Amino acid sequence: MMGVLVLGTVALDTVKTPFGWHERMLGGSAAHFSMSARLFTDLSLVAVVGEDFPLEHIAFLRAKGIDLSSLAIKKGKTFHWQGEYKNDLNSAITLKTELGVLADFNPQITIEQSKMKYLFLANVDPDIQFSLLKLMRAPRIVALDSMNYWINTKRKSLLKILKKVDIYVANDQEALSLSQESNILQAARSLNKIGAKMVLIKKGEHGVIFYNGRSFFSLPAYPAERVVDPTGAGDTFAGGFIGYLAMKGKVNDQEIKNALAYGTIAASFNIESFGLEKTAKLKMKDIDTRLIKFKNCVNF
Amino acid sequence: MMGVLVLGTVALDTVKTPFGWHERMLGGSAAHFSMSARLFTDLSLVAVVGEDFPLEHIAFLRAKGIDLSSLAIKKGKTFHWQGEYKNDLNSAITLKTELGVLADFNPQITIEQSKMKYLFLANVDPDIQFSLLKLMRAPRIVALDSMNYWINTKRKSLLKILKKVDIYVANDQEALSLSQESNILQAARSLNKIGAKMVLIKKGEHGVIFYNGRSFFSLPAYPAERVVDPTGAGDTFAGGFIGYLAMKGKVNDQEIKNALAYGTIAASFNIESFGLEKTAKLKMKDIDTRLIKFKNCVNF
């Protein structure tokens, strides 16, 4: 079965930015990833929510065509993140993290899902990422995201799973921290030596760098003049990137560069509104229209 | 007469980086600019040096084909800059600035030079930039660079000359500071409204953004794994950029994007060695070879 399986969080996000304040919106890495990946391919989501999770959010995700058969609903509270962006919209200040049911999440998937070929392990405990990876039959592409918290507390687990990963996805700070390098290109090389076949480093407003084990690709961000809420931009990027590769069914240099451009465009919509507001309404033609503008902006 | 006239500094630079320490090397904005622009077109340099300026440097610049008929030699000392880069090779710490003969520089040019079509006013006092601009007959493209010191102390002069400028060249901090915006795209729009027809914002390791008054172009930097000394990278960039445009003799969107790429490649060589070490040896075929690699790295 083609399509993408994503493991991650489905969360309630409370976010304040200079443009406003929204309480307990639908968010989380798997939700943001899905909202862009669904445009390209079939999408199955593996996550856990608590009994307080609003039914309307489930109806909403289902209406977007996302397979929720492995969205577990457990006794307890849904993962809740509260954060604020001040004038520098590139860095979030975390005010509160309530793990709730995420604390002892043990992902289960269907037999059909175990046969899926494209897997995205969004940022959760690397041991949980590993337990899901073991359930997969023969994935063609495994991509993995993490965060500083796990790099600091579960470094060993993370380095172990990295050896099984095709594409390690990180932001610049995480890449430097895990590799202990001071230059992000050297970080990419080093993470490749440690085990990841390919490395994708997200630099927010400064775009992305990709290392395929031999050479680098680099793309700037889409020129964004009004950033309202960047929460989830990285996962939205990953959704466009992996979603495109799954749609194409092949991974070569040219398709990777196209996938980076599609991820860039998906993320550029995400940051224009709070939560999933903008990406939920996106159609493939919106992406394609902006991609042409982007091509004109960066190709010479 | 085609070719480029550059006004700026010819200096002695003392630079320390994690890779070494060099005393009183040939440097300055006009020298760095010339070393890349000379590859594309005829180059005339307007600057002043003191009587302590080593004759070998004059011989060296002349041997590179640079027209020095307006390089003034005055009683006093040559402009001397001393700086250090610590682990963050993106930001220089200025340790000493000795203006010397630069303090009362009154640029004079030949009649031939006053007819040149491409003018680069590198970073000096905006009043000096203005006095040179008034000597020009009918330049086709006037580009101007400045720095935070003049933005803070001669804001009014700078805003006045900006109205006469086709391309304002700045780094991100300078663009934000002069426009008093917090987003660099909005800064570019605002500087365009103030008067500059086009705005080129240099972001160091993160590439460049260009605003032509209607739309944005964006390019990442060339992936550089070993930065030895970034001094002069911005002027080397400008030299490749303006030099290419002068060579082509036309300024349209496609040629501007090509020029940004040539500037990027020229700068990528500059940072690989101290001072002018690398750019002095450059040949056009080195630029073209790396340009093909860069195209493959960024175009999708």
pLDDT in tens, A166-197: 999 999 999 999 999 989 999 999 999 999 99
* Chain B residues inside the 8 Å CB shell of A17: none
**Token pair 């939920």: residue:** A280
Beta strands in B212-297 (DSSP E): 216-219
Mean pLDDT to the nearest integer, A285-300: 97
The Cα of A184 is separated from the nearest Cα of chain B by a number of Å equal to 8
Active site residues of B: 235
A216 touches chain B (CB under 8 A): yes
* Chain B residues inside the 8 Å CB shell of A217: 297-298
CB contact under 8 A, B300 and A221: no
Tell which B residues from 217 to 236 touch A, by Cβ distance under 8 Å.
217-221, 223-225, 227
Give the residue from chain B lying closest to A259, CA to CA.
Answer: B300
* Chain A residues inside the 8 Å CB shell of B295: 300
Best mutation target among B181, B205, B300 (most A Cβ atoms within 10 Å) is B300
Q: Give the pair of three-digit tokens for residue A296.
A: 């004109």
Bridge partner residues of B118 (DSSP): B4, B141
Chains A and B form CB pairs within 8 A to the count of 79
Beta strands in A99-215 (DSSP E): 118-121, 141-145, 167-171, 198-202, 208-211
% helix, strand, coil for chain B, step of 5: 40, 25, 35
Q: Is the model's pLDDT at A1 over the cut of 60?
A: no
SS3 call for A9? coil
ipTM computed for the complex? 0.90
SS3 call for B77? coil
Residue A14, φ and ψ in degrees, nearest 5 = -110, 120
Regions in chain B scoring below 70 on pLDDT: 1
Residue-wise pLDDT for A190-237, tens only, equals 999 999 999 999 999 999 999 999 999 999 999 998 899 999 999 999
SS3 call for A221? coil
CB A234 within 8 A of CB A145: yes
Q: Model pTM? A: 0.94
Q: What is the pLDDT of residue B90?
A: 80
The Cα of B225 is separated from the nearest Cα of chain A by a number of Å equal to 6
Give the residue from chain B lying closest to A214, CA to CA.
Answer: B297
Q: Is the model's pLDDT at A87 over the cut of 90?
A: no
Q: What percent of chain A has pLDDT above 70?
A: 100
Least CB–CB distance from B298: residue in A221, A227, A298 = A298
CB contact under 8 A, A206 and B203: yes
Exposure class string for A55-93: b at 16+ Cβ within 10 A, else e: eebbeebeebebbbebbbebebbbbbbbbebeeebeebe
Q: What is the pLDDT of residue B269?
A: 98
Residue-wise pLDDT for A22-62, tens only, equals 999 999 999 999 999 999 999 999 999 999 999 999 999 99
CB B130 within 8 A of CB B110: no
Distance CA B237, CA B157 (A): 25
B16 touches chain A (CB under 8 A): no
The Cα of B254 is separated from the nearest Cα of chain A by a number of Å equal to 7
* Chain A residues inside the 8 Å CB shell of B257: 299-300
A180 touches chain B (CB under 8 A): no
* Chain A residues inside the 8 Å CB shell of B221: 218
The Cα of A130 is separated from the nearest Cα of chain B by a number of Å equal to 32
Strand B11-17 with B4-7, pairing: unpaired
Instruction: Specify whether the backbone of A65 is left (phi greater than 0), alpha (psi in -120 to 50) or beta.
Output: left
Give the residue from chain A lying closest to B259, CA to CA.
Answer: A300
CB B170 within 8 A of CB B144: no
Q: What is the pLDDT of residue B88?
A: 81
Mean pLDDT to the nearest integer, A11-21: 96
Give the CA count within 13 Å in the CB-facing half-sphere of B147: 9
Give the residue from chain A lying closest to B205, CA to CA.
Answer: A206
CB contact under 8 A, A223 and B257: no
